[in-house]
Every structure is written in C-alpha cells, then in structure tokens.
A and B are shown apart, each in its own frame.
Chain A
Amino acid sequence: MENLEAVLKKHKLSKEEYANILTILGREPNMLEIGIFSAMWSEHCSYKSSKKYLNGFPTKAPWVIQGPGENAGVIDVGDGMAAVFKMESHNHPSFIEPYQGAATGVGGILRDVFTMGARPVANMNSLRFGNVTNNDDTSRHQRFLVRGVVAGIGGYGNCMGVPTIGGETFFDESYNGNILVNAFTLGLAKSDEIFYGRAEGIGNPVVYVGSKTGRDGLGGAVMASDSFTEANKSLRPTVQVGDPFAEKLLLEACLELFKTDYIVGIQDMGAAGLTSSSFEMAGRSGSGMIMHLDKVPAREEGMQPFEFMLSESQERMLICAKKGYEDKVVEIFRKWDLNAEIIGEVTATGNMELFWHGERVANMPVQPVSEQAPIYDRPVKEPAYLASIQNTTINDFAKIENQKAFDALLNSVEVSDKTWIFNQYDSTVQTNTIKAPGSLDASVIRIKENGKALSMSSDCNPRYNYIDPKMGAAAAVAESGRNVAMSGARPLAITDCLNYGNPENPEVMWQFAQGCYGIKEACAKLNTPVVSGNVSLYNETNGVGVFPTPAIVMVGLNDDANKTLPSSFQKEGASIYLIGETKSDFGGSLYMKELYGKVEGTLAELDYDKELKLWELVIEANKKGFLNAAKDVNVGGIAIALAKMVAKSKKGVTCKLTCNDARDIFAESFSRALVEVSDEAGFEAMAKTIGLNVVKIGTVGGNMFTCNDVSKSVEAICERYFNRFAEVIEQDI
C-alpha cells in the first residue's frame, strides 16, 4: 500500500495492528477494509486498553438475566418482568456541539435499551462541566455548554415520551476542556421476551430499518478515541444530528415487531454504524454475512461503500429476520413511514462479504475483527501528584467560623437545587414517577404491571477519585446503593460509565486500573453486580486529563411502590436520627474545595459491613413503618444534608451533634444517613439488633434551621438553595 504510514496514522492504527491485519486477511487490505478495522479496533468499540481490567467484574447474581456483552444489562424485577438498563457516554461530541452531542447520546442509549425488547420507562443523566461561576471566557463557554447540553437532552427525551427522572451534575476546573455527558436509560420487558443482537441461521435475511444513511458522524468512533487539541475543535462534522421523531417511530415499530415471532436478532447502529452492528451480530453467533451496500437507503447520491459502512447516522437498526418473514418485518416499518430494506443474508462462511452493485468490495473473517480486537497491557504508574497531596489535613488551613462556612457551601453550585435543569425534562410522562428529580437521593418509578417500584441513583464524586482512584470508585458504588436504600428499595445491580483521561499516559492508566479494582471490590462486597457499562478514555485536552470519573447508576427494587420513602422532612415534631459515625474526614471534601480551593488529603476505608447494615436498617425499618424519611449524608456533611431536607420540605429543624472538632458537621465520613423516625422505640431496637450506632440529634419543626452553632431561617435557605443555580447559569442572557 502506498503511503502506508500516512494511511495508518489517519486511521489511528499501529504498525503492530497492521501486521495483525495482514495475518488475518493473508493479504493487504483495501481502503474499505482498513476503515472497518480502524473503527472496530478503535478504543471506543474494542475496549482494547480497558478490557484487561474489566475482565473479572462481578457480573452474576440470581436476579441477573443478562450481564455485560449485550446491548444492555437485564435484571429480574419479579412477576415475569425484567429491567433492562445501561449508561453510555457522549462526551466528545457534546463538547464539540452540545445540543446535538447530548441529544444523540440520549438517542443512542434509548436504542440500546429498546433493541432488547424493552419499552424505555426512565432516563437519567450524569453531567460534569468545568467552572461555570467565573466572569471569564472559560466560564462563559461552560455556561453555554450547560445550556446546550440540557436543551439537547430535553429535546430528545421529551419527544420520545420517556421521563427523565433524575441525575447528577458536578462542576470542576478539570472538565474545562472536556465535559462529560453520560446518559442512562432503563426499560421494562417481559423476562421471557428479551431480544439479543445475534445474526444466525444460514439464509436468514438481514434487514436495514429506520432513517436513511447520510454522511454525518463519519469516523465518530475513531474521533472519540483521541484527545482534544486546539486543532480538532473543527471536528463538528463528525457529530451526528439527532431526529427524535424518527426514533419515536422506530421505537413504536420495534415494539410492534417484538410482539411477533418474525426475527432472530436485532441491534442498533451506534458507534461505527453498520460496521459494528453487522460484525457484532454475526460475531456473537460465529456466522458469516453478505451485505449489498448499494441497497442501503441513502440520504444523498454519490455515497461510497466506506461511507455506508462508517456513517453514524442516527435512528437505524439492523435486524436478522427469520427466512420467509422478511416481508412482514418490512411491512411493520413501512406502516410507521420508516425505511426498511433487505440488504443481505446470513452465511456459513464466517466471513463478512460486502458487495457494491454486484462486485465484492470487501471480504473479511468476522470473528477476528469483532471478537479478537487487540488487548493492550498499557504501562501503569502511580501518579506523582498523589504523594504531594496525601498529607494534607483540615488542620493545615486557617479556621473559618461554621456559620461562614455554611453560607459558602450552601451557595456552591454543587449543592444548589437544579430545577433550572430538570424542569426542561419531561419527568411525569408515562405516569409512573414517584420520586421526581429534585426530591433528593434516588429517583423512583412504579411498575404498573406488578405494583413494585424501581429506584435508581447516579453517583460519583470525582474529587474522591482524584485523591484515591480505588476508594473513590468504591465510594461511588456505595453512595449510589445508599441512595437507593434510602428510598426503601433493595440495591440489585449497577451499570457504569468509566470516564478517564488518556490511557497512553501511565498515570491515567493507573487511575483507571485502580478505579476498576475499586468497583470490583465494592460490587463483590455489596452484592451488586455490574450488568452493563461503557468506557470513555481520552478525555483530555492539550495534555490535561479530567478527574477520574467512574459514574455509577445503581438500580434497586422496592416490593411495594406505596412504601417509597421520601428524602425530605414530613412531620413537624418528629425526631431526626443520625445513623453511622462521624470523623474528621475532609479528604476531597466540598469544604476543602470551596473554602480553601484544594482537592487534597486521603479517603477513609469504606467499611462494607457497616454500609450493608445501614441499607438493611433503613429498608427494614421502612417496611415496618418506623420511618417518615431518609437521606444519605455526603458532600458538605450533616449540615448540608439537613439544609437540603429543610429546603425541600420548607420545614425547620433543630439539631445538636456532639463533635470532636466543631467543623465535623461538614465532614464527609462514609456510610451515614439521616432518618426522620415515627416509631423511636421500634427503630432503636432494630438498630441494636442489626448492630449499628444510631443517635437522636434533633427535631423537625419551626421556621429556623439550627445545627450546633449554625443557624439560618428556612426562608433564607430556600432563597439560596432554589435561586442560586439559575442566577449563575443565566447571567449571560
């Protein structure tokens, strides 16, 4: 091949990978084949840097129906119903074009879920932006990104009629050059009617359905597998354009199709489009496939084979139909005014053969491409920065009065209510939402079919992951589980979205490896397997990587939707208890960040046994009716957790805590919760039996918030809590 070096560089293939390609094919590849290898072996599609560490994740439990490896994970939620869920990143596109990047992120994850036969019933999102508060170009641009991403998520999810029921947002300078947009969808299906991404049965037709293929998103997967520099801000044409209306039609047509017995398998065309869907479907079953690319519906004339194979046009699916039923499949999609064309068939050759007007333009063995992508063992090295931050404690800084500290933390955009964001998301469609966005901790929907409730929470504290990548990741699993338990639901399984910097940097690779060890450990100890997930690397601009951000969504089940526990105060005069122990844990705390501008220190070890007991106590006490409300304690400590409960309920509270250090009301010790108790004797007895320390710290009521030496009127707290975010984000308009 001429200019081999330039060709390989453009396709981000190494010389070793090219040698491997020559061995697989037994000859030189043509340009179409190079393009296919490049996409399939991109970091985004092949997980080549991360696979080593993802292997060995706990993925099994009696309630797990489908673990990682399919389009989404599936768990049993009782009475013949299954929950299908996954989270996925759309970081790079959202930074380049926030509205479309975020919108197509939502579209992609919705397809991953409904391709499995499930109707999507809940969306969530986990967002990280840079600094939004300053009066400079960086913050102004970040505010523009926030507005665009939020509008994009709403624009797509609202049109689809899927409620967005919660999520999380976080702001830190480390995301100034790389925002993170992680979208989560959960769907419901009958557990014996799950569809898989498989193409098998010689002679079975391959059907293309959905929107036409255009030139948008060409090479998107390869783009997402690189770092940002000033130069590639011009990559806008690699971002796809979403059409939620087409996707809504596709959803309804697919759900109609799933009621029939016409198909063998189905998969959405996500990253690397027709390439990944066809190779993965054939690869999973060891089949071969023929496809006639000239039969693919095209948006414009003059498109070439490689464009059909590598376009990331949205709202498309590939189906393997049962022979003889292809016309019926086509009929369903035509009814919904969608394209549907038979473009090929399953073969016994084990090869992917691509034809263009009758001429064979590519012939490649499927399995080596789809299942045997290279696995890297990249060098790892403990980051140098860790040694310089580990000795920092809260005593290294000048003391600040608690009242002043409280006012500063309450004013942090990390703490403030995000109504400005979630009011742009339809959260009530489908009439299942019990705990809507903004109601603190987990979000909850009921399952109409069986009277149970699904509880889910998205969590990750990037500061913790920066100062201790292993314990930080474990803490994300524990926090998401704790939030789910606070609603009275039992945590069952997680999906994750692992966002890290450049894997070619040994220090970043070390962070990633440690993050995986943390998730493995926490999921094993807490008995909440990983059922699906996604890795996003190269979140780096001009050599600066993001904080390690393993976003976790925990999904749990409450056997009785009517027993969903709220997270804000319910009854004047009721007692507040603190569960768990408070120490001077300020490593990576909001307190240190907001007041001293530092992300330093160390994390305490998570005590998994105590964490599980905490979940047990809240879940069982709620079943017995001992509790009115429960909320976990995290950033900003007890003082901020109480303040949020006050703001949400517009009820005052008076609390008195015994602390070794007066500042401990802001400490972020793990495995703690605040509960409003209706039956004190019953609750205390149960805590004793389970073996947890609980202490009564105060009473709900009045129009003041008082916590030790901090006090503020309920009205003043509400004013800050509810107005702060809009004030920041709308300052330019």
Chain B
Amino acid sequence: MLVAVAVFPGTNCEIDTKYAFEKLGQEVVLVFHKEEKLPEGTDLVVLPGGFSYGDYLRSAAIAKFSPIMKAVIAFAQQGGKVLGICNGFQMLVEARLLPGAMKRNENVHFISQFHHLKVVHNDNTFLRRCSVGEVLNIPIAHGEGSFYIDPEGLKELYAKHQVLLTYCDEKGTPQNPNGSIDAIAGICNEAKNVFGLMPHPERAIEAILGSDDGVKMLRGFLD
C-alpha cells in the first residue's frame, strides 16, 4: 500500500506517521503542501497532526488553501481513503470533507495524556479490526479538540454509523476530556472513506511507549 502523508508548514507528526506505517510494512511518501498532485498510485492519504500555519487563526483554517488540498479533496471525492489525525481531523472539518466544527477545549488548556476510547461503529475500513464496545488506550494532545455538530447533524451521524470513537475511562464509562458533544473523539463521512479523529493512533504502536492499541486501528487500512 502507498501512503501519502501531507506536510504543511507547522505539521509536526509527519515523521511519527511515516514511522508507524513503515513499521506496518507500508510504503510512505511525504508530500509537501506546495505540490499540486498526489503520488501516482496513492492508496491512503494521511493528514497528520501539528500546528499547520501556526494555528494562529483557527486550527487548520488556512491549510485548506494549500495547493495539495485540492488534490486531497478530489481524491476523497473519487472515493480515495483519507485519514485525518488531530490537526488533520481539524483540516477535514475545515475543508468540509467531514461535518461539524472544532472548538477550544472546555477547560481552555492544551491537554496531553493517554486517554481511553470506546469503539462505537466498526463497519468501516478504519476500525474493522476492532470490535464494537472495545476500549482502546491512545494518547491525545490538542488544544482545540472539542467537537461540535448541531442536533440534526448529530442524529444523522448516529443513524449512518459515522460516529467512530468516544472518550471513556478504562472500563468504558463515558469520560469527556475536552467537552466534545457526546464525548465524540472521531467520525467518518457518509461514504465511509474519509476518517477523522483527535487521538493519535500513530503514537500507540509499541508497548514500550505505553500502548500498542493504535496498531489494530491503522491496520484497518491494510489488505
């Protein structure tokens, strides 16, 4: 599988993402934001974490104007698989490839810690190797990760199995670190080819780092 990881000015998780997919035996290419095309034969585009353009306006608000984003949007519209992690999730929302919006964390602080997540729906490529109700332990690290969507939109997300993950404690009881509506940590689009989440599965791929629960998530994209 060929994974294209987009690099915006201020992106800081591209090396971690590359390392994670390479550890899973995949070929990874870093694509600079000034490029207008994705590499030939790209199977998965990852928009990695970081602070694109410093996040000085609103997280990820500027990245959608980068040349590479036109190609990413076109790729997604043709059914190509796209995964947005943290700042990448914010980009997907800003680019309207995913519904909803992102607000400042409820306690206004940046939050960095391991957090448990509960799998809500697994009838999609990303989480197909996880079971519904399974609890995973994955680091979060964000300042603007409070996901919001209007009640109509929320209803639709549930109806179409677009809610992927919610924040919880180790036993699976809901626990909300950032004020996200319904403690939602990750969603996908209706066509189930565009995925976004605030937690960092690429940071939980080896037991020595505290958890390898991210492996089964990322492996969802592998054949």
Contacts and interface: CB of A to CB of B under 8 A. Distances in A.
Nearest to A446: B208
B51 A244 contact: yes
Interface string A413-428: 0000001001111111
Interface of B: 9-10, 12-13, 15-16, 19-20, 49-51, 53-56, 109-114, 139, 141, 143, 200, 202-203, 205-206, 208-210
Interface of A: 151, 154-155, 158-161, 243-246, 248-249, 336-337, 419, 422-434, 436, 446, 448, 561-562, 564
B112 A424 contact: yes
B10 A428 contact: no
A258 B27 CA distance: 26
Contacts of B139: 428
17 contacts: A158-B51, A159-B10, A159-B54, A244-B51, A248-B9, A248-B10, A249-B9, A419-B113, A425-B112, A426-B141, A427-B141, A428-B200, A429-B49, A431-B19, A434-B208, A448-B19, A564-B208
B55 to A, nearest CB: 8
Contacts of B141: 158, 426-429
A427 B110 CA distance: 12
Given A158-B143, A425-B110, 10 more contacts: A244-B54, A245-B54, A245-B56, A423-B112, A424-B112, A429-B16, A430-B15, A431-B205, A432-B209, A446-B208
Chain B interface mostly: mixed
A434 B209 contact: yes
Nearest to A438: B113
A562 to B, nearest CB: 6
Nearest to A150: B109
A431 B53 contact: no
Of A160, A337, A423, A424, which is in contact with the most chain B CB atoms at under 10 Å from its CB? Answer: A423
Contacts of A429: 12-13, 16, 49, 141, 203
Contacts of A431: 16, 19-20, 202-203, 205-206, 209
B112 A159 contact: no
Contacts of A249: 9-10
A158 B110 contact: yes
A431 B18 CA distance: 11
A337 B10 CA distance: 12
A129 B71 CA distance: 51
Contacts of B202: 431
A159 to B, nearest CB: 4
A173 to B, nearest CB: 27
Contact of B54 (A243, A561, A564): A243
B175 to A, nearest CB: 14
Contact of B203 (A243, A422, A424, A428): A428
A562 B112 contact: no
Contact of B9 (A160, A337, A426, A427): A337
Contacts of B112: 158, 422-428
A154 to B, nearest CB: 5
A433 B209 contact: yes
A430 B141 CA distance: 12
B16 A160 contact: no
Contacts of B111: 423-424
Nearest to A448: B19
B20 A161 contact: no
Contacts of A160: 12
A161 B51 CA distance: 9
Nearest to A245: B54
A419 B111 CA distance: 10
Contacts of B113: 419, 423
A422 B112 CA distance: 8
A424 B110 contact: yes
Nearest to A155: B110
Of B9, B19, B112, B141, which is in contact with the most chain A CB atoms at under 10 Å from its CB? Answer: B112
A160 B9 CA distance: 11
Contacts of B200: 428
A224 B54 CA distance: 29
Contacts of A424: 109-112
A562 B206 CA distance: 11
B46 to A, nearest CB: 15
Closest 4 pairs between A and B when the two form their complex, measured CB to CB: A161-B12, A245-B54, A428-B139, A426-B141
A159 B53 CA distance: 10
A17 to B, nearest CB: 42
Contact of A428 (B15, B51, B209): B209
B15 A245 contact: no
Contacts of B20: 431
Nearest to A425: B112
